[in-house]
A and B are shown apart, each in its own frame.
Chain A
């Protein structure tokens, strides 16, 4: 097992164009297994960019990233897709559930992409959905679920493949305070129960304060704000 779930060294990300824009500069980050990290910063500070780089959705201009010991720059597109499918879970600001599939099918989607889920997989996902209070909503389509329910389904979907790391980009940003707190509490609970590391991007200082560790992006640099223990 790798020492770090995420290990980023000297990351730089520049967006091209007539006037190149350097979003991230000299970013170094190590995330331990099971750690719950919050990343805060102003809008446009590069929080989501960092998350996309760690999530292998985008490539850095310079620097290296390793996720669960795998160096992303050394992997092909297909290998990156496989890594995203097996070791990383994503939760987005908008739930991004597929409208034509039921709540259960949506939660199983990463497993469908990999192949046919085993009965054990399906039982586990059903169990997770029951635990987040969606046991009676399995056959509902996303448009029949409330915002909170949709985001809870997305949390279960991120955990369906038993990843090493969950990347959450403003998961509560689109919810009312009550539902937002619910979803945050659920992520903390899942983090503690399953030992999966979370990186949560938010601009909600209150939620960030409730995380084990808090980082801030300022002028393209990543600064450690606080670390528990």
Chain B
């Protein structure tokens, strides 16, 4: 074993409680970093899956018709340009567009749909609701409705079946297999059976969509074999703007992304990420100061020993390396303990359930922290870096000690 390693190890072991305390300091900083970042990014993921996960990340709709001015270019003209009222139109060549869009980078699923508004009626109770008509297999990749089913089914939905939300079922006083009628904005009326009831977290009956098959929607809204829009889901939610712009440029269609429609969610995410970063940075820096001060005291305490070692031929570099190794040893052990602490805390808080909203619901975790290997790796590296930097000052101080001064004393 090298002299420097032997000496550093012996110092740490001989340090006893002092070593335990300083390692605990590093461990606590790493625990805090992993726990806070795991918690904040876990909350963000929950928001993404519960709010954004149930809506398409990018929606393709027909281009808005642009009013044309009935005059040659450059002709003197006094006119007000008014956009025409939006008319329900459909996407040209939607099968081709769907195929092509599916092959774009980041697009993991594309679902052609007929969307519209309808009134759902049961006896004397009625609600105006958005209707999404889509192939359940394709749409489920976007909305993950099957994850939120309370009863019934969505995959394999029949032409005469509809999936509604738990809140809507309560408001209409219906349950599985009951019949309801849908009145489209075109005046067309069709009768459906309740095929499934979902809980997607929405409380507003009138803003939560109901789901029927594409064929049923085409018939209800009189769209023939056309579709009104194509919904996309992405492998990375935060690529929504880029993908939306790309699709609009290639296919000359109108696109929307969840990021543009929910700017307040994005800004909340940014604020949370900045908070996580700041808390992490402050705790690591605080740990760094603690380590530096403890090592400075240790160097002072051992100055006689350092002088004697230098008199016996230890070079300044060897002394520098010894104290740097001490810092490194503290950092590595502290970081490993901190990783266990941080992951343990996340798992502990994940095990505490929230109260459920209805009987039989699987309870959500109170604090849905995630264990992210990248965050753990970064926290460990940052802690080790800060500790080594913090030990540099006392180590240099030790290396510069003049043996004559020390031995004389």
Contact = CB atoms under 8 A, between A and B. Distances in A.
B321 to A, nearest CB: 12
Contacts of B3: 112-115
Decide if the interface of chain B is mainly helix, strand, loop or mixed. helix
B171 interface: no
Contacts of A77: 315-316
A161 B339 CA distance: 45
Contacts of B317: 78
Interface in B306-330: 308-318
Contacts of B310: 81
B14 A96 contact: no
Contacts of A86: 313
A109 interface: yes
A110 B312 contact: yes
Contact of B407 (A83, A96, A115): A96
Given A113-B3, A115-B3, A116-B1, A81 B313 contact: yes
B305 A82 contact: no
B403 interface: yes
Contacts of A203: none
Nearest to B13: A100
B404 A58 contact: yes
A98 B403 CA distance: 15
A57 B316 contact: no
A36 interface: no
B146 to A, nearest CB: 64
A22 interface: no
A174 interface: no
A92 B408 CA distance: 9
Interface string A43-84: 000001000100101100000000000000000011001111
B177 interface: no
B68 interface: no
Interface in B9-67: 10-11, 13-14
Given A98-B305, A100-B10, A116-B1, A84 B312 contact: yes
A81 B315 contact: yes
Given A100-B10, A100-B11, A112-B3, A55 B308 contact: no
Contacts of B404: 52, 57-58
Contacts of B315: 77-78, 81
A3 interface: no
A198 interface: no
Contacts of B13: 100
A142 to B, nearest CB: 11
Nearest to A52: B404
Interface string A176-219: 00000000000000000000000000000000000000000000
Contacts of A112: 3, 6
B304 interface: yes
A109 B311 CA distance: 11
A109 B408 contact: no
Contacts of A85: 312-314
A90 B308 CA distance: 9
A82 B1 CA distance: 19
Contact of A110 (B2, B304, B305, B313): B313
B408 A48 contact: yes
A57 B403 contact: yes
Nearest to B1: A116
B311 A113 contact: no
A139 interface: no
Contact of A96 (B2, B10, B308, B314): B308
B309 A109 contact: yes
Which residue of A58, A84, A115 has the most chain B CB atoms within 10 A of its CB atom?
Answer: A84
Contact of A113 (B304, B316, B318, B407): B318
B10 to A, nearest CB: 5
B309 to A, nearest CB: 7
Nearest to B9: A100
Nearest to A49: B404
Contacts of B313: 81-86, 110, 113-114
Contacts of B304: 96
Given A96-B407, A98-B309, A113-B313, 9 more contacts: A84-B313, A85-B314, A92-B407, A96-B308, A99-B305, A100-B11, A113-B312, A113-B314, A114-B3
Leading 6 A-B pairs by shortest Cβ distance: A85-B313, A100-B14, A84-B313, A96-B308, A112-B3, A81-B315
Interface of B: 1-3, 6, 10-11, 13-14, 304-305, 308-318, 403-404, 407-408
5 contacts: A77-B316, A81-B315, A101-B10, A109-B312, A115-B3
